[in-house]
Structure 1
Amino acid sequence: MKQVLSRFGVAEDTTDHALELDAILQAWRRRVQKRELGQMAVQELGLPIDLPKLDVMIAIWAPSNEFETASEGETMVATIAARLGIDPSRASRLVTELISEGYAARAVSQQDARRTIVTLTEKGTAVVTAVRTIKFLILGSFLSDWTEDELATLTPLLNRLSLWQDELGSTAPARFRDEIAELRQGLSKYMD
């Protein structure tokens, strides 16, 4: 990889950092996909719900530090779908299940009586609060050994890293057009 990237003008030390960062992120992604912390919280609390339903409840509750759209005020099924990046029909099905299980309720919008909004019931709010409390107990305990300088460095850098795809967009930057064309040409003999 170092040789390939050096041909395209990427410095070797930058490549070393990129390779190390990619390995860390891939390991992190695998752990996050397992949803270890959420699974543990649901199990420890003895909750009869799965993680997709928990996600929907958190999207309804909409903590401002997790969802940019939380400032919208009222939450509709479409809002939940957008917050979670899921299909609106899936969000609707999960909301219907949560309503039947007593975690959520439908209500009439105070802003537009033609709209139906979704709110958490007292039971749903209690579940979200308990799960998030476990999450922050564990995360807070883990971070308690870190210095203020480490935390002050990590948080903004991690946030910056999390936004790199937003800056990039859904396609590779035009400045890599030639490099991508060369790679595509090299692959063409295998794709026929």
Structure 2
Amino acid sequence: MTRDRDQWWTDDGVDALDVIEVQTAVIARNLELLRRRGDIYGELDKASYLLMRTLDAIGPADIATLAAKLGLDPSTVGRQVTALRAHGLVERTADAQDRRRGIVSATAEGRELLAHTRVQRRERTAELLHGWHQDELHALGAMLTKYNRAVARDYLLSAPDETAEPG
């Protein structure tokens, strides 16, 4: 599956693919450390946070639309919505045009919790990236976006709709 081996080696003899592979493992570990020790999600786990961010970006939507935006199976999103409803963070109402179709929207409590969580996450991220130059921040954001899209392309049910991604 590895393409031409020469493409992974830099001019200074570094195996870039090896560096990326190791750093991907390190970032996964570090994100888990942040989750456990830093309370970066607060009351929202990763899945709930991303679903709430998607609702915030697109507004009320049905399960199929949310699933397409997130690149997940509708049954997975349905379970996530059920859990969020149980905590009073979203509500589901019948579509005025098609009463069989449910529309999911964030409650006031859900929007408030999302806003609070976003502030916490941004503050923590700002602390970690303190001292970085603007060009480094932009480059990191662009590279992470490109990497996440590659993962989504190969591993999600469908590629997430980019309108749900923050710009």
TM-score range relative to shorter protein:
0.5 to 0.7
Query: Where does structure 2 lack aligned partners over 5 or more consecutive residues?
Result: 155-167
TM-score under structure 2 length normalisation: 0.67
Q: Which residue of 2 aligns with 1:138?
A: 124
Question: C-alpha deviations, 1:2-28, integer Å up to 9, x for none?
Answer: xx98xx551573461111111111221
Once the two structures are TM-superposed, the CA of residue 108 in structure 1 deviates from its matched residue by: 4.0
Looking at structure 2, the residues matched to 157 and 93 of structure 1 have their Cα atoms a distance apart, in angstroms, of 31
Are the structure 2 counterparts of residues 100 and 22 from structure 1 closer, same or farther at C-alpha, using a change threshold of 3 Å? closer
Once the two structures are TM-superposed, the CA of residue 91 in structure 1 deviates from its matched residue by: 2.0
Contact (CA 8 Å) 1:37, 1:135: kept in 2 or not? Answer: no
The question of 1:117 aligning with 2:117 is answered no
Looking at structure 1, the residues matched to 107 and 114 of structure 2 have their Cα atoms a distance apart, in angstroms, of 11
Once the two structures are TM-superposed, the CA of residue 95 in structure 1 deviates from its matched residue by: 1.5
The question of 1:20 aligning with 2:19 is answered yes
Matched residue type, 2:39: M
Identity of aligned pairs, percent?
Answer: 24
Structure with greater helix share of residues: 1
Question: C-alpha deviations, 1:66-98, integer Å up to 9, x for none?
Answer: xxxx4xx54111223333343322322332232
**How many pairs are equivalent?**
148
Once the two structures are TM-superposed, the CA of residue 138 in structure 1 deviates from its matched residue by: 1.0
> Highest Rg: 1 or 2?
1
Give the structure, 1 or 2, with the largest relative contact order (CA under 8 Å, sep 6 or more): 2
Q: Which residue of 1 aligns with 2:34?
A: 36
Matched residue type, 2:141: T
Are the structure 2 counterparts of residues 130 and 165 from structure 1 closer, same or farther at C-alpha, using a change threshold of 3 Å? closer
Q: Which residue of 1 aligns with 2:54?
A: 59
Contact (CA 8 Å) 1:77, 1:117: kept in 2 or not? Answer: yes
Matched residue type, 1:78: A
Looking at structure 2, the residues matched to 137 and 156 of structure 1 have their Cα atoms a distance apart, in angstroms, of 20
Give the match's secondary structure for 2:15.
Answer: helix
Matched residue type, 1:82: A
The question of 1:10 aligning with 2:6 is answered yes
Looking at structure 1, the residues matched to 52 and 91 of structure 2 have their Cα atoms a distance apart, in angstroms, of 11
Looking at structure 2, the residues matched to 160 and 42 of structure 1 have their Cα atoms a distance apart, in angstroms, of 23
TM-score under structure 1 length normalisation: 0.60
Give the alignment's Cα RMSD to 1 decimal. Answer: 3.3
Contact (CA 8 Å) 2:41, 2:121: kept in 1 or not? Answer: no
